[in-house]
Amino acid sequence: MFQVDKSLNYGRNEIFNLLKLVPQVHSALDVGAGRGDDLELVRSLNPDALLYGVEYYEENAKELEGRGIKTFKINFEKEQLPVQEGCLDLIISNQMMEHSKEVFWVLHEMSRTLKVGGHLLIGVPNLASLHNRLLLLMGKQPTSIQNNSAHLRGYTKNDLLKLIDVFAKGYEVVSFRGSNFYPFSPWIAKPLAKAIPSMAYSLFLLLRKTKDYKQEYLKYPVDRQLETNFYLGDQ
């Protein structure tokens, strides 16, 4: 009952089902592509799609290239995506945004390169998962945002949507899902995550871009005078 399957944290089955809701994809980019598992799901549904990945680690980048995925080995927190503006049908960011300080730059670049009508699929660990709520109740740090880990940010569904809505009415939610449910074994975790996705270990949002992007994510920290030195491009 309490043998957690951590592979469910990445939500491959949920991502596959969300991808089925996306019309034909001609070009797709995965930001933090790892070894290309999510892009292979895209390929299984869209065999002729052009696939791109952002991946900084050399071993993963080599494996992506070996899978026929055009790979950009860049520091995505401070470099532009080397693709044309508004050229992508689909962008995936799975288990990446919790690692990023420069979320305004990251969202700027994804929104700049995504077509109007294109889809953005985001997956993040859930700060409001059942096990994180219980840890806080006991005065302990949630696992999704521990200060001696690689995670820099913690997200709930509502807070993630609030961040995305900095580009006001720029995205509409197509679907929302959860994956895994600590501390339970898969046979319990899977139905619980489906029934109560807002308390699952990971959150997955499929969004559709509804209008032209006009650098709203770069303007927001300046307009709000946020007292953090966010990277906003060479200015």
Those residues whose C-beta lies under 8 Å from the C-beta of residue 206, and which sit 6 or more positions away, are: 18, 21, 22, 119, 120, 121, 173, 174, 175, 176
* Rounded mean pLDDT, 136-146: 96
Q: What percent of the chain has pLDDT over 70?
A: 99
Q: What is the pLDDT of residues 96-131, one digit of tens each?
A: 999 999 999 999 999 999 999 999 999 999 999 999
pLDDT at 33: 96
Enter the tokens of residue 147.
Answer: 């200060």
Enter the tokens of residue 224.
Answer: 């709000």
- Cα separation values, 181 from 13, 39, 144, Å: 14, 25, 13
Q: Does residue 142 contact residue 154 with C-beta atoms inside 8 Å?
A: yes
* Rounded mean pLDDT, 43-69: 96
Q: Which of 95, 76, 72 minimizes the C-alpha distance to 12?
A: 95
* Rounded mean pLDDT, 12-35: 97
Write out the E strands in the chain: 27-31, 50-54, 70-72, 88-94, 114-125, 171-179, 202-209
The yes-or-no verdict on residue 235 having pLDDT over 80 is no
The yes-or-no verdict on residue 136 having pLDDT over 70 is yes
In the chain the domains, ranked by start, together with CATH numbers, are: 10-224 (3.40.50.150)
Q: Check the CA dihedral 21-44-91-130 and report its sign.
A: positive
Those residues whose C-beta lies under 8 Å from the C-beta of residue 20, and which sit 6 or more positions away, are: 45
Enter the tokens of residue 193.
Answer: 């995550």
Q: What is the pLDDT of residues 149-188, one digit of tens each?
A: 999 999 999 999 999 999 999 999 999 999 999 999 999 9
* Rounded mean pLDDT, 23-46: 97
The yes-or-no verdict on residue 232 having pLDDT over 70 is yes
